[in-house]
Amino acid sequence: MDHATYFKEHIRTVPDWPAPGVQFRDITPLLQDPAVFRKLIDTFVHRYQAAALRPTVVAGLDARGFIIGSVVAYQLGVGFVPIRKKGKLPFTTVEETYELEYGSATVELHTDAVRSGDRVVLIDDLIATGGTMMAGRRLLEKLGAEVIEGAAIVDLPELGGSEKLRASGLQLFTLVDFAGH
């Protein structure tokens, strides 16, 4: 069985959540089963052990990107930095606002989270419209870091986020694609 099929079998689809017509892709079952969780983390770690993709820092997007990103960073022996929703970080921050389907949101990063020249893998659980990952990338680049790749478990290609991110020049690595949203 290939990786995509294996992981897809452990992702729960919750219909009509958080709104009618939305098919929510819940990664909780991936995290609950220790063997599946290990395989998930190992898949990312093996990719980023290669010299060409070896980061100096892993950044995780609020909040499920923290779960995956921190463990990947630990396994790679590199630092982890959280990119949080506005108002959650206690130190001096830079912020980036991005558009949602209805309204906007803002994410923040501590000003000392990365240094100029850091090579960063930016991780989240899912790519939908791409707004959160694009905002995270802009934050990291404001501080002089290079985002070498965006990574996620799930891609929802019909929502156009992965296409938009790739068109901006960001290399992406995802494990599972789901049709629809």
The encoded tokens of residue 101 equal 């389907």
Which one is catalytic: 25, 64, 84, 137? 64
By three-state DSSP, how is residue 58 classified? strand
Residues contacting 134, CB < 8 A, separation 6+: 98, 164, 165, 168, 170
Mode of pairing for the β-strands spanning 12-15 and 57-61: unpaired
Rounded Cα–Cα distance for residues 154 and 176 (Å): 5
Cβ-contact 123, 58 below 8 angstroms: yes
Active site (annotated) includes residue 64: yes
Active site (annotated) includes residue 101: yes
Which one is catalytic: 12, 38, 101, 115? 101
Which residues are catalytic, by number?
64, 101
